[in-house]
């Protein structure tokens, strides 16, 4: 099976930087996704990492270390609209090519 851990809640200040961590244990790793989900809405795709390193996309960056089973999502210049849940999801070849989601991190951005 797969085990995915991420903090339940985080609070940060508008304009600041926040890092949301995700650790996982799996065999047959085949990629890691981050999704954003605003309250009452559908999750939307943010980033995908399959190789080690940092992927930057505007204010959002995602990092992966396969040897450590670790990823983080970095949000810069936080805005109030970034208040949402951030879901880490891991794919594995031996899990029928399915994505397994973590419990999500609820981020609250305060003025």
| 79 is a site residue for other proteins (CB under 8 A) | no
> How many amino acids of this chain bind other proteins (CB under 8 A)?
26
Residue 93: left if φ>0, alpha if ψ -120 to 50, beta else—which one?
alpha
Q: With binding defined as CB under 8 A, does residue 41 bind other proteins? A: yes
Asked if 10 is part of the footprint of other proteins (rule: CB under 8 A), the reply reads no
Is residue 91 at the binding interface for other proteins, with CB under 8 A as the rule?
yes
**Nearest residue (CB) to other proteins, 40 versus 111:** 40
Closest distance of CB 95 from other proteins, Å: 8
99 is a contact residue toward other proteins (CB under 8 A): yes
Q: Which of 49, 94, 93 has the alpha carbon at shortest distance from 68? A: 49
Residue 18 interacting with other proteins (CB under 8 A):
no
């Amino acid at each position: 099976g797969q085990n995915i851990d991420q903090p339940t809640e985080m609070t940060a200040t508008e304009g600041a930087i926040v890092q949301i961590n995700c650790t996982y244990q799996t065999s047959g790793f085949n990629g890691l996704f981050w999704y954003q989900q605003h309250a009452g809405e559908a999750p939307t795709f943010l980033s995908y990492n399959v190789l080690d390193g940092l992927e930057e996309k505007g204010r959002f960056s995602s990092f992966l270390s396969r040897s450590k089973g670790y990823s983080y999502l970095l949000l810069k210049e936080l805005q109030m609209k970034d208040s949402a849940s951030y879901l880490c999801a891991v794919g594995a070849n031996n899990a029928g090519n399915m994505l397994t989601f973590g419990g999500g991190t609820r981020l609250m951005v305060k003025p």
